[in-house]
Amino acid sequence: MMNKITFCAIVTFCAYQILGLPVISDDAEQRAGKFEGDIVLSSEQRMALAGLRNGLSADRYRWPNNTVFYRIISDNFTTEHVGHIHRALDTIGNVSCISFIEADENATAFVRVVGDDVGCFSAVGYQGSVQDLNLAPNGCFRLGTIIHEFLHALGFFHMQSATERDEYVTIVWDNIRRGVERNFQKYNSSFVTGFNVEYDYGSVLHYSATAFSVNGNRTIVPRNENVTIGQRTGMSDGDVTKLNRMYSCDDAASDNVEARG
């Protein structure tokens, strides 16, 4: 019987054929050469590396009023690419209280979506200034990859950096390319939090099993043999729960109900 992830992968493949977008075979999130492959750290975040985990806990990195302003540099993309970015934003907005609003000419703090051919990457959380989110047209246009980068922009780090990750996965250090071992660090909970959600193999923020492999063999081996890691089809239930807890979406919904009453 076809499982949900396999079904989504087939649907994604067909969608790419219809839209005329390239089918992705490599992991462009690893090409950018940033921290953990696709993360741009602020100076404060670099200084706090010893206290990281999966979701950024500092309130100052939350987008004010749960609103993300963005500007797509349309000259970098085709009409189909722009439409796919909007589908990703709609996907996030439809399962949370996050609003995405196009930045006007007076905006000073927003996500600038660019398409340089250097892979995929984003800053983590609200920076209070213009912050680039890069989506290389040839490599970053799986729907889940775009969502992955915007979840970074909303404040999340990678799943396998979680403090408790060794209870759920084994890192095979001998299979990791030399010089990128730091991408597999784990961090304590003093700087970020998992929002009381169990380790999520199915997270769109989890590395694939062969991420940064020197020989094609697995660098991350789940302790549960019946799971798949590294999917880029969409948000897992755990991703949705953590996002809503990070931005207090349940509280916002309650406030709206009380206001209407």
CB contact burial 36-54 (16+ within 10 A = b; e otherwise)? bbbbbbbeebeebeeebbb
Give the tens place of pLDDT for each residue, 213-225.
999 999 999 999 9
DSSP string spanning 56-119? Answer: B--GGGSPGGGEEEEEE-GGGS-HHHHHHHHHHHHHHHHTSS-EEEE--TT-SSEEEEE--SS-
Give the tens place of pLDDT for each residue, 96-122.
999 999 999 999 999 999 999 989 999
Give the catalytic positions in this structure: 149
Cα separation, 182 vs 174, in Å, equals 13
Asked if the model's pLDDT at residue 19 lies above 70, the reply is no
Measured between alpha carbons, how far apart are the two ends of the chain, in Å? 47
Give the tens place of pLDDT for each residue, 173-207.
999 999 999 899 887 776 668 899 999 999 999 99
pTM, two decimal places: 0.81
| Burial tier of 172 (Cβ tally within 10 Å: 0-12, 13-18, 19+) | middle
